[in-house]
Amino acid sequence: MTQEINSFEIVKNLIDTSVKKLNLSKSVCEILSEPQRVLTVTIPVQMDDGSVKVFTGYRSQHNNALGPYKGGIRFHHDVNLDEVKALSTWMTLKCAVANIPYGGGKGGVIVNPKTLSRGELERLSRGYIRAIAPVIGADLDIPAPDVGTNGQVMSWMMDEFARIRGYNEFGVITGKPVIVGGSLGRVEATSRGCVFVIREAARVTGLKLKGATVVVQGFGNVGSIAARLLQQEDGCRVLAVSDSTGGIYNPNGLDIAAVEEHKARTGSVKGFPGSKEISNEELLTLECDILVPAALENQITGQNAGKIKAKIVAEGANGPTTPEADRILAERKILVLPDVLANSGGVTVSYFEWVQNQYGYYWSEEEVNNRLERKMVEAFNNVYSLYSKRKDVDMRGAAYMVAIERISEGMRVRGWLGNQMYADIKREAKPA
């Protein structure tokens, strides 16, 4: 029997542990244990056959102590409220780890977008934005792409919001196409950020990236580009990749650009010439140096963590590793680069996009990538130095501590924690 793993319970427990380790007031934990606001909406969509189908969507605004709520919108048939709440909590933590001036939010619609026509997808995207319009805005809550959505969907959403407001507010949504206020480098940003963090991890562990072997689970926006960058820029050998239809393996390495073309043509990675089909379980447990889970939550579990042979696990996805798996991987000295660090490149370039929108002045791709690199290297080193100093946390624990310390300080100075925190908090401000 497969046990249901609830990501929201997982993230709340991790926050609780970190708050205790940081010796912070339990109010910090209580505040971070529930989103500040959750909206459930129903979206009637006219289907191509003339019928009306009603979809359910959510927007969870977890915390805005450090800035507007920020986070993607997921279109997936497994979306549920607890998942959206967990994803919004991760966004709060991720933005704090990345040290960008945002809180966390997330949205989702229960739908398999692949079953919709282009017109239906557009009407659903516009309908969702109409439904959540009262609670979003460039200084309030800023959506972006996530699983099942992309630049085109963001563009429709931004346009719908502009119609409601009566003027363009480009900064309300990030991940837009470049022609309508998007940023160069945003499409690759999550993957590029992940690669910057992998490079740092390779440096501190003494792993040579040239010729290193890589396995990637998930060949969507994050996984496919991470695989390509690791192959083309770092000389890694990508042994296996997978998507929702299955996995492919070639011990001599796959030509990722060619796999991307194959997938664009056929709709899946399966059947790529010269590759052998492998199951998801086989893929995760392949002998390799770097494993990049870049699909969905709860993929590395107590069941398979003991069989994982990678030296580094870089979480391109949100929440791919369960706490039980974390314990096993830590015991086995496998270095996990946690989601809130490893995939924070996406929201970091979303922040750059929003800054460019506010200024109406746009940067070159090189400038975006250089700034991203600086941010990722700094975030990695903050987390890694805490991890190296403390014997009682893994990289995820260290990342949570870095994040929660910042969020808690923001909440403290805003007065959300009450006056007793002036005595409680470790880093008490010195009186002038």
Residue 348 Cβ, how far from ligand GLU at the closest point, in Å?
Answer: 8
Q: Which residues pair with 277 in a beta bridge?
A: 248
Binding residue for ligand GLU (CB under 6 A) from 67, 68, 71, 181? 71
Nearest alpha-carbon partner for 58 in 135, 121, 113, 119 = 135
Burial class (CB in 10 A: 0-12, 13-18, 19+), 54: exposed
Binding residue for ligand GLU (CB under 6 A) from 7, 125, 155, 350? 350
Residue 24 Cβ, how far from ligand GLU at the closest point, in Å?
Answer: 25
Q: Does 318 bind ligand GLU (CB under 6 A)?
A: yes
Stretch that binds ligand GLU, among 17-25, 70-78, 236-244, 281-289 (CB under 6 A): 70-78
Nearer to ligand GLU, 239 or 402 (CB): 402
**Residue 136 and residue 394: Cα distance in Å, rounded?**
35
Burial class (CB in 10 A: 0-12, 13-18, 19+), 64: buried
Q: Does 346 bind ligand GLU (CB under 6 A)?
A: yes
Stretch that binds ligand GLU, among 161-169, 258-266, 341-349, 424-432 (CB under 6 A): 341-349
Residue 219 Cβ, how far from ligand GLU at the closest point, in Å?
Answer: 17
Where residue 418 falls (left for φ over 0; alpha for ψ -120 to 50; beta otherwise) is left
Binding residue for ligand GLU (CB under 6 A) from 31, 45, 96, 144? 144
Q: Which residues pair with 59 in a beta bridge?
A: 39, 107
Residue 176 Cβ, how far from ligand GLU at the closest point, in Å?
Answer: 11
Where residue 350 falls (left for φ over 0; alpha for ψ -120 to 50; beta otherwise) is alpha
Q: Does 221 bind ligand GLU (CB under 6 A)?
A: no
Strand spans (E) along 27-112: 37-46, 52-63, 69-76, 104-110
Q: Does 174 bind ligand GLU (CB under 6 A)?
A: yes
Residue 26 Cβ, how far from ligand GLU at the closest point, in Å?
Answer: 28
Q: Determine contact, residues 399/97, Cβ cutoff 8 Å.
A: yes
Binding residue for ligand GLU (CB under 6 A) from 72, 103, 218, 338? 72
Q: Does 347 bind ligand GLU (CB under 6 A)?
A: yes
**Residue 344 and residue 366: Cα distance in Å, rounded?**
19
**Residue 168 and residue 259: Cα distance in Å, rounded?**
38
Residue 77 Cβ, how far from ligand GLU at the closest point, in Å?
Answer: 18
Q: Does 70 bind ligand GLU (CB under 6 A)?
A: yes
Nearer to ligand GLU, 347 or 379 (CB): 347
Q: Does 383 bind ligand GLU (CB under 6 A)?
A: no
Q: Does 181 bind ligand GLU (CB under 6 A)?
A: no
Q: Does 357 bind ligand GLU (CB under 6 A)?
A: no
Residue count, binding to ligand GLU (CB under 6 A): 13
Q: Determine contact, residues 399/338, Cβ cutoff 8 Å.
A: yes
Residue 22 Cβ, how far from ligand GLU at the closest point, in Å?
Answer: 24
Q: Does 67 bind ligand GLU (CB under 6 A)?
A: no
Residue 346 Cβ, how far from ligand GLU at the closest point, in Å?
Answer: 4
Nearer to ligand GLU, 7 or 343 (CB): 343
Name the residues annotated as catalytic.
106
Q: Does 315 bind ligand GLU (CB under 6 A)?
A: no
Beta-carbon contacts of 404 under 8 Å, excluding residues fewer than 6 positions away, are 15, 18, 19, 22, 24, 28, 32, 93, 96
Q: What is the DSSP letter of 134?
A: G
**Residue 240 and residue 216: Cα distance in Å, rounded?**
6
Question: Which residue's Cβ lies closest to ligand GLU?
Answer: 72
Give whole-number Cα distances, 337 to 67, 147, 240, 352, in Å: 25, 20, 20, 23
Question: Where would I find the H helices in 206-272?
Answer: 221-234, 256-266
| Phi and psi at residue 307, to the nearest 5° | -105, 0
Q: Does 197 bind ligand GLU (CB under 6 A)?
A: no
Q: Does 220 bind ligand GLU (CB under 6 A)?
A: no
Nearer to ligand GLU, 28 or 173 (CB): 173
| Contacts with ligand GLU, 87-126, as mask; x by CB under 6 A | -------x--------------------------------
Nearer to ligand GLU, 338 or 346 (CB): 346
Q: Determine contact, residues 220/72, Cβ cutoff 8 Å.
A: no
Beta-carbon contacts of 255 under 8 Å, excluding residues fewer than 6 positions away, are 231
Nearer to ligand GLU, 213 or 369 (CB): 369
Binding site for ligand GLU (CB under 6 A): 70-72, 94, 144, 146, 174-175, 318, 343, 346-347, 350
